[in-house]
Amino acid sequence: MEVPALQGFTLERGLLTMEKPLRTREGQTSLRIGVPREVSNEERRVSLSPSGVRTLVANGHEVYVENGAGAQAHFSDVQYAEAGGEIMTSPADLYGKCELIVKVGPPSDEELDYLQEKQILISALHLGGTSPVFLRRLMDLGITGIGFEFIRDSDGSLPIVRMMHEIMGSMAVQIAAHYLESGGGGKGVMLGGISGVPPSTVVILGAGVVGEWAARTALGFGAHVIVLDNDLGALRVMEHYLDRRITTAMATEQYIRQAVARADVVIGAMMAAGQRAPIVVTEDMVAMMRPGSVIVDAVIDQGGCIETSRPTTHSEPTFVVHDIIHYCIPNMPSNAARTATYALTNVLVPYLIKIGEAGSINEALWQDVGLRNGTYVYRRHLTKKSLAAMFGMPHRDIELLIASGI
Collect all residues with Cβ–Cβ distance below 8 Å to 68 and sequence separation of at least 6: 37, 77
Q: How far apart are CA 81 and CA 66, in angstroms?
A: 11
Q: How many CB atoms lie within 10 A of CB 31?
A: 21
Among 61, 126, 224, 326, which one carries the catalytic annotation? 126
Q: How far apart are CA 276 and CA 279, in angstroms?
A: 9
Q: How many CB atoms lie within 10 A of CB 310?
A: 12
Question: Which among 296, 54, 268 is positioned nearest to 175, based on CA atoms?
Answer: 296
Rg, the chain, Cα only: 22
Question: Which among 30, 35, 38 is positioned nearest to 58, based on CA atoms?
Answer: 30
Among 264, 297, 301, 368, which one carries the catalytic annotation? 301
For residues 125 and 149, the answer to whether their CB atoms sit within 8 Å is yes
Collect all residues with Cβ–Cβ distance below 8 Å to 390 and sequence separation of at least 6: 127, 275, 276
Catalytic (active site) residue 126: yes
Q: How far apart are CA 105 and CA 169, in angstroms?
A: 19
Residue type, 85: G
Catalytic (active site) residue 323: no
The SS3 call for residue 359 is coil
Q: How far apart are CA 344 and CA 151, in angstroms?
A: 13
CA 67 distance to own-chain centroid: 24
For residues 235 and 229, the answer to whether their CB atoms sit within 8 Å is yes
> Count of residues for the chain?
406
Separation of first and last alpha carbons in the chain: 47
Residue 147, classified by CB atoms within 10 Å of its CB into exposed (0-12), middle (13-18) or buried (19+), is buried
For residues 3 and 13, the answer to whether their CB atoms sit within 8 Å is yes
Torsion of CA 75, 80, 82, 86, to 10 degrees: -160
For residues 366 and 402, the answer to whether their CB atoms sit within 8 Å is yes
Residues that are catalytic = 126, 301
